[in-house]
Structure 1
Amino acid sequence: MEVSSFPTSCKSLQQSPSVEALLPRKSWFPHWNQVHLFPTKKALRPLVGRTGNLTWKQNHSQVLKCQLKEVPIIETGCMEEIYDILAKRLVPNAAAESNPNFKHIVGLCGPPGAGKSTLAFEVASRVNKLWPQKSSAFDSQVESPEVAIVLPMDGFHLYRHQLDKMKDPEEAHARRGSPWTFDPERLLRCLINLRNEGSVYVPSFDHGVGDPVEDDIFVSLQHKVVIVEGNYLLLNEDVWRDISSTFDEKWFIDVDIEKSMERVLRRHISTGKPPDIAKWRIDYNDRPNAELIIKSKQRADLIIKSVDFSR
């Protein structure tokens, strides 16, 4: 597909150097907390086992079992419990840092209908509630108790006028939401600016208008935890691979594809699409995208088993 030219810079507090010069080295945080135990490059962190238990006995044999797992998995009876677990996981890493520019950036990936936005905002909300209990050193330095923020990938959709300029505009609009209908270079630049400068403006997405809204989200110095949520954050190709390298942690929401497509169908119908058009869009666009995204699950540091939101 041919994409028309579009600025890939992202407004920040300072003019940023080139992308190639600023790709950050991954940082690891060898801290323990009470929830998970899984191995990183320098240490073991807490883990929730497949059995749904919230803690494991930390003896030698069980640690070895953890190390043999490709990716640790969180699986419990309800999403509320998962939100709490993930928030408790994030707070110690952020609270241990005294650098005012510090950011602990999480990449949250999953197929359409997995519940990424809900999980990201619920976890951020819980981090903000837990923060005063864990990080009194920062309380006097920030203007707001909110230290966690969500950065949605939706704001990096190509504009409709850019899709109009592609070789096959009708196909481009029909497949909107596929990887090639986003601007990953711009997302990468924003993440690099955030890592190096501590603050950045990013676009949001207006679903009513169907286009991004420039500079609508401000990630400031006070934010210590940034949850970036989107479909393609773990793809192992082209610029997406570089985006993945900017994250301190990579999470994947694992959901049965039939369940996720049911949720997407309800979403399409709720926005006014006739049922037959909604089903066609799922078969033509949403399901192929979901199948591609699911293949990137193996690149996650942590897999979160999605359950019905009503449970």
Structure 2
Amino acid sequence: MSPHPPTRLLVNGLDVEVQVDAHLLEAVLVPFLTEVAARPRASRRAFVFMVGPPGVGKSTLAAVMADAAGRAPHPLAVQAVGIDGFHLPHDHLATHYVSTPSGAVPLSAFKGAPQTFDVEGLARHLDASAERDLAWPAYDRRVHDVVPDAAPVTADLLVVEGNWLLLDEPGWRDLVDHASGVVLLTADPALLRKRLIERKVRGGLDPAEAAAFFERSDRPNIDRVLGSSDFSTVDLALAVQNDGTIQTIQQGEMR
């Protein structure tokens, strides 16, 4: 498989150089977006949900897909946004507590879990964005907080990425009704652990703190995404390999 030329993209506030296999982009991902855009729908805008556990690379792949669609021989206007912009603000998470066997712990210790999101706000935004151009909030990893109205949306096809978009729990399970297509991106849990700890270290934690955060927050989130999501609506399933390549997989291999 031939590599696609490296592309510089802004992902969660960070300028990153990314490279995705050209065959995957040209033979699978861009045709999938084109096919979804052509599906009948009642609203002006179509949504593609990209779902998967934390650390798997959803934000980057969604940005790459949108960029590649715009560069295709028959260009398609696509934008990528994430649900992390619907995290509750860090000040709220730091000042609201949950009871644990060890005592009261701030919600910020579980950042990324479903209870740290404004899911009602996300649902309202999906409703409103179906017909109108609205700016979406974003999560900026440089400041570790939400940036309101960070991403003006004008394209009629929007890739929405997030851990919990298929979560089969109250407040979340109806979100998929907005999706015209669904992509699952997954990976081996050991690879996710490595990536997530490295991400926290790059964000300023020492390795021991990063490993402790993984055990307290990231590992339960991985288990919850894979164990409590309804994957019956997935159209395209992809798996990140240990060497960083991405392969399509069959429905029975999704967990």
TM surpasses 0.5: yes
Contact 1:79/1:309 (CA < 8 Å) preserved in 2? no
CA separation of 1:87 and 1:297: change in aligned 2, threshold 3 A:
farther
CA offsets 1:2-52 (integer angstroms, 9 cap, x no match):
xxxxxxxxxxxxxxxxxxxxxxxxxxxxxxxxxxxxxxxxxxxxxxxxxx9
The match for 1:129 among 71, 79, 101 is 71
**What residue identity is the alignment partner of 1:193?**
A
Whole-Å separation in 2 of the counterparts to 1:118 and 1:231: 14
> Does 2:47 correspond to 1:86?
no
Distance (whole Å) between structure 2 residues aligned to residue 198 and residue 250 of structure 1: 22
Q: Which amino acid aligns with 2:82?
A: P
Q: CA deviation at 1:308?
A: 4.1
Given that residues 251 and 303 in structure 1 are in contact (C-alpha distance below 8 angstroms), is that contact kept between their aligned partners in structure 2? yes
What's the offset of the Cα at 1:191?
A: 0.6
Shift of 1:89: 1.6
- Hey, what does 2:79 align to over in structure 1? 149
| Secondary structure of 2:50 counterpart | strand
1:251 aligns with 2:174: no
2: distance between equivalents of 1:152 and 1:80? 24
How many residue pairs are counted as aligned between the two chains?
219
1:166, CA displacement in angstroms? 2.0
SS at match of 2:179: coil
Larger proportion of strand: 2
Find the partner of 1:218 among 152, 160, 173: 152
Displacement after TM superposition at 1:307 (Å): 2.3
Deviation at 1:207, TM superposition (A): 2.0
Determine which of 293, 298, 308 is the counterpart of 2:231. Answer: 298
Where 1:170 maps in the other structure, the secondary structure is strand
The one-letter amino acid paired with 1:203 is: P
Does the CA-based 8 Å contact 1:107-1:251 persist in structure 2?
yes
Q: Are 1:193 and 2:135 an aligned pair? A: no
**How far apart, CA to CA, are the structure 2 residues paired with 1:214 and 1:250?**
26
The one of 151, 160, 170 equivalent to 1:238 is 170
Distance (Å, rounded) in 1 between the aligned partners of 2:166 and 2:172 = 7
Q: Which letter does structure 1 place at the counterpart of 2:86?
A: F
Residue 72 of structure 1 is matched in structure 2 by none
Deviations 1:229-288 (A, max 9, x none): 011011011111121221111211121111111111111112221111111111111011
* Percent identity over paired residues: 29
Query: Alignment partner of 1:248: what SS?
Result: strand
The 3-state SS of whatever aligns with 1:119 is: helix
Partner residue, 2:7: none
Question: How far does residue 154 in structure 1 lie from its aligned partner after superposition?
Answer: 1.1
Asked whether the 8 Å contact 1:95–1:134 carries over to 2, the reply is no
**Does 1:227 pair with 2:154?**
no
TM-score (norm 1): 0.65
Q: Is the 8 A contact 1:112 1:261 kept in 2?
A: no
Secondary structure (helix, strand or coil) at the match of 1:245 reads helix
1:103 — aligned with what? 45
Q: Which runs of 5+ in 1 are unaligned?
A: 1-51, 53-77, 136-145
Q: Mapping of 1:173-188 within 5 angstroms? A: 173-188=108-123
Summarize deviations over 1:190-209 as a string: whole Å, max 9, x none.
111111x2321211112222
Mapped partners of 2:230, 2:61: distance in 1: 17
- What SS is found at the alignment partner of 2:32? helix
* RMSD over aligned Cα atoms: 2.4
Shift of 1:134: 3.4
Query: How far does residue 302 in structure 1 lie from its aligned partner after superposition?
Result: 2.4
